[in-house]
Structure 1
Amino acid sequence: MGRRPGPSLVLALLCASAAVGYAERELLQTAPWLEQFPPYGCVRDTAQSRFRVDPVYTVSGSKVCFTARTVACERKGSACCRSDVDFNKLELSVRTTCNHAIGSVTINGKRALMPTYEKYGAAEDKALYKLPGLNLTVANAEGAQICMTLSAPCPTMADLCLEGDGSCTYAIIESGTPSPPEPPSPEPPRMPIAPAIRHPPPPASMPFPYCECNRTLGTLPFTFDSMPVVKKSGANKLYCMRLTAGECIDPANKCCNQALAKVEWWSKAVCRRSVKSVYMDGVKVDQQWSPVPESPTMAVFKIPQINLPRSAVPAAGIEVCIELVATEQCPTLATFCTRGDRGSCTYAMFNAPDKDCCPIGSFATASDARVS
């Protein structure tokens, strides 16, 4: 089964500690952060982190993979910014019913330590999974693949994580700082490790694409790659995604064998004048906007009437480019996409002719895009 991009990781926290045991011991103390994720007293300012995780993960069967990044530190002189700190653990905020759901963990294809499941909070009504012993450093973390396998009772990211839509709250745990960091205030700021952040929690189900359809990722063979390429068109920018066709999670599903009818993006009403043109492999195609009556500030941007069978998509994919006008209100993906300021752009693809399957995916916005 081919790899396909998953939804975004929605929130990340740096949690830097003097040693792994220091953070673990914090669980035993009565402290304000006991009810927060992650439940440790540690530095949570992501500007002090040397590491990030790409906001979009990939899924291949039961395997989920995250890509690590090394970044310049924004807080020069911080102990957390030292060159000898390491990316020790990745932690995920999960449902309390998901013990034993994560099996093996690998780093760049090599077996890592077994993950551990833990409940926390005074009532033990919260849970997390730790992927420990990653031991990634500033020298080798860039592009490293952190992969885990999922199984029952939570075989998908939507089942595993509290958000329920495939996105997941996570934290990077650093170790190697020379002295225990100061604990955060009772309500520490929740800053993004990737440029994706939730300020209030999202609704239990995502309203987009504002219709009744099967939103399960992988019901159609079509998807976009996780990282767009940015090109110049005069003062404007072209954001180009690679449309590919792979395997479905259920090849027997009728949606899997139908053509791609259209693609929709979750956008904003103020962005209606911001798209100049849309191209597929350099050919200009039609575009449409639809209002959202139940949410007047929202809008849906569409590439309609694509009617593309899987057999017509070459192995290299089809380049889909959106040209955003530099002088309009939404000149970048970060401004064009709803929640784009949190690091990802949400889209839905529909089957033809029934349009009853609409798997939701996402890709990174401009701050993570490759510049061509």
Structure 2
Amino acid sequence: MSQSYPPDPPNRRSSSRFDEGIAIVVALATMGTILFWVLSHPNRKLATTPNPTSTPTETTRQNPTFSQILEEFLPDGVSPLPGTTPQPTTTPPSATTTPRQPWWVGLGLVPQTPSEQPVEPSPQPPVTPVLPETTNITPAESSCSTQPNGGNLCSTPTPPQTVQSSPSETTWASPFVAYFMSKNWATGSDQKPFKPNEKITRGEFAAQLQRAFNQKPEESAIQFKDIPQNFWAKSALKAVTQSGFLVGYPGNVFQPQQEIPRVQVLVALASGLKLKPSKNSQQTLQIFKDADQIPSWAVEGVAAATEAGLVVNYPDQNTLNPNQSATYGEVASMIYQGLVYQGKVKPISSDYIIKSP
């Protein structure tokens, strides 16, 4: 019987190396499968059970994707994965913005430090604005004024005084103009009301004469060369020339657009009302300071108008201003005085109506 030897024991060293090789192959296969899954689905995130109490931002931090993990360790400006563009994360606006934290903080690996906690601003008490104190200034104090040198100049208040201002053109002529407006006479060529201080033309004056007196024609009509057929006051010109108020310039020229002087207004009224001076004309005209400015052809007519109370001078009673263009207020007052002379209207009390001496 031959002696038998026991079988050789297994080689423990070679078996251990074989197991390690298998483990490495399995690990590499697993990592390759995960890497392939991540690369083939770049937008897919790791499946986690959402925390109902956490915000979308917190969920992303607690469950980072492989791309986010790489982003933490890559320098700025380097894409985590080739061919992919990181999608911006839109967070809802809030009163306080939480600073970005590393991905491992959300996993609970490193506790948050007090400096990483969001700090709520402490409420500030409302500020009550301080308004400047107001000082009631009495009339006596309001008379003080500050001088350039820094001092104050104050005057002693004086009791109010009654200051009588001179009447304006509108004020003194308003009673006469009001009568013309009541008769609907106070309109010109454009059918607009006259203003008391407006200058009046010869054509407009002829229309005012025809409206106020409307006397019967006594003379033949004059055919003026400068009056067109469609002139708005042509009928008025015919009426006042036939009644003797106006005769125009030599050569059958009327000049309707010319402003009429005051002396022509008085002579026209005296001519149309058939007025004649009862005494020496020069003696009557001595009441006027500027009597020497009256044209010689108008002396008798102005004297007759003065005796009849047709002259109205404003603002100085003794200044006639014969060659000054007449205003509507002056024409209205003189025509009204002509109606008073005829007894058609009641006299109006005025300080500017001239009374013959």
> Normalising by the residue count of structure 2, what TM-score does the alignment of the two structures yield?
0.18
Higher helix share: 2
Q: Which one has a bigger Cα radius of gyration?
A: 2
Q: Which has the higher contact order (CA 8 A, sep 6+)?
A: 1
> Normalising by the residue count of structure 1, what TM-score does the alignment of the two structures yield?
0.18
Higher strand share: 1
